[in-house]
Amino acid sequence: MKKNILIYMTFIGLTALLTSCEKDGEKVIMLSDPVAPVLTTVPDLTFQRTNGMNVLEFIGTPVDPGFQASATYYLEACASGTSFANPVTLWSGNQCKSMKITVSDLNGILIKKFPADASSALDLRLRAVLVVDAGTGAPGTGTNTFSYISESKSATAALYGLPRLDLIGSGMTQKIESALGDGKYTGLVKFDVTKPFTLTDPDTGTKYGATGTDLAVNGEAIVPTANGWHRLNVDVNALTYDISEYRIGLVGSATPNGWDSPDQAMEYNPATGTWSITITLADGEIKFRFNNAWAWNLGYRPGGKDPADLFHNGDNIAVTAGNYTITLTITQPNGPDEAGSCTIVKNN
């Protein structure tokens, strides 16, 4: 009987040992020197307005930390030789094997930083921000994220300037542009209901206003119906225009209105393409959202706390009481996969 008990106990011990080894084999093991992403292919960056709808493809290889992991990739550019001290994000997403963007979109991004109708020397790189799932016990969660950067590639970008319509009478210097030069213009403009405006083509001198709800050459001044930032679309061929509210705001328990509307309106900078606000906040949390609604909103990517990695329906951003200057860069404006980055500077 004792012999049988001994055999049985030995069997239990071996089973436990094997089970323990199997579980140990499931642990996440990170390489001591993870393989950084590689930007393998850069397309020709000589742009022409007539090719504005052509799709450019950048190709990369993903980061390899030694285990299967998700990452957010940023395709970045800077003036040649500046060591990415002030980079601009050209594209962001969850994969890097095929990064696609139209000529008009990329030209629009680059001319915010580089001169139009000229060639500029650029350095390009691929940056990967690694997301480690919560619960693994590994570093890389919270504010201590892993970031891996490819070697840079040099390129020359020849950019084209955009045809534009200038807003006359709006109270500030503003314009809307035609990315394809096809008579269709769009842009974000700030309205004041006390300041009706007209539109002028500086190349031809043609002036546009309105007749009723239609656009008209030499028409009456257009009267805004609401203050603040709006998107203005104009088609000079069809003689149509439309205006829609475009508000990026700060919402959350740390803001004066809490989680209720109206959000704290941010100001747009057309030169940099960024939104900013200086505001006094309480202890609490914040998020960014569009037009006082939750269909489009940005917070920390779930499981992370990296201000450079904001994502649709992300986690709330915690802040302590104080006065802040907050700047938001929207890297992917279209929902439901909107994305961006922000800087949060405490003034006092």
Q: Which amino acid is at 73?
A: Y
Q: Which two tokens stand for residue 77?
A: 């550019």
- pTM confidence score: 0.70
Tens of pLDDT along 107-136? Answer: 989 998 999 889 999 999 999 998 765 544
C-alpha angle with apex 174: 268 to 76, nearest 5 degrees? Answer: 50
State which H helix or E strand residue 328 sits in: strand 322-332
- Measured CA to CA, the distance from residue 9 to residue 13 in angstroms comes to 6
Contact 297, 248 (CB under 8 A): no
Q: Chain-centre distance of CA 62, in angstroms?
A: 20
Q: Chain-centre distance of CA 219, in angstroms?
A: 38
Contact 321, 313 (CB under 8 A): no
Q: Which two tokens stand for residue 164?
A: 């534009």
- Measured CA to CA, the distance from residue 64 to residue 149 in angstroms comes to 12
23 by DSSP, 3-state: which? Answer: helix
- The torsion of the CA quartet 127, 298, 100, 54, rounded to 10 degrees, works out to -140
Tens of pLDDT along 283-331? Answer: 999 999 999 999 999 999 888 899 999 999 999 999 999 999 999 999 9
- Measured CA to CA, the distance from residue 101 to residue 332 in angstroms comes to 11
Complete domains list, the chain, with CATH: 38-159 (2.60.40), 164-245 (2.60.40.3620), 248-346 (2.60.40.3620)
Q: What's the confidence (pLDDT) of residue 70?
A: 82
Q: What's the confidence (pLDDT) of residue 26?
A: 53
